């Protein structure tokens, strides 16, 4: 199974509030996991990727952070949300010899 779960599906938060988005995956162990953000009408921006528990690489400096406390759990967090953090957040896993990516259903975040 390549199932990827994300929650919540939608979220409305005030500026300055904290954030925690969760992604869990089923299937093989030790998958490479990714967090992307997509602004309206735009492509995907890679935020973080992880090759294993506790291993996080940040692609874009910002007020977001990521953690991987368990093999199949990837969490995106923020201590204080900004208006610019609004967007569609996608979690993905890598699989296959050609590093195909499989995406979760996404979380739509609106910061007011």
Residues that bind other proteins (CB under 8 A): 32, 36, 41-46, 49, 51, 59, 88, 90, 92, 94, 98-106, 108
Nearest approach in angstroms of CB 14 to other proteins is 23
C-alpha pair distances (Å), 17 with each of 11, 40, 85, 96: 12, 22, 11, 38
Nearest approach in angstroms of CB 111 to other proteins is 18
Nearest approach in angstroms of CB 53 to other proteins is 17
Among residues 43 and 69, whose Cβ is nearest to other proteins? 43
CA distance 103 to 2: 9
Q: 51 near 68, Cβ under 8 Å?
A: no
């Amino acid at each position: 199974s390549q199932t990827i779960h994300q929650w919540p599906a939608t979220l409305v938060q005030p500026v300055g509030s904290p954030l925690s988005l969760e992604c869990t995956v089923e299937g093989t162990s030790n998958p490479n996991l990714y967090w992307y953000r997509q602004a309206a009408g735009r492509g995907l921006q890679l935020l973080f990727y992880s090759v294993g528990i506790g291993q996080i690489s940040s692609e874009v400096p910002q007020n977001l952070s990521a953690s991987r406390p368990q093999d199949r759990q990837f969490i995106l967090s923020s201590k204080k949300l900004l208006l610019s953090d609004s967007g569609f957040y996608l979690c993905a896993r890598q699989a296959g010899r050609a590093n195909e990516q499989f995406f979760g259903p996404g979380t739509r975040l609106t910061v007011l």
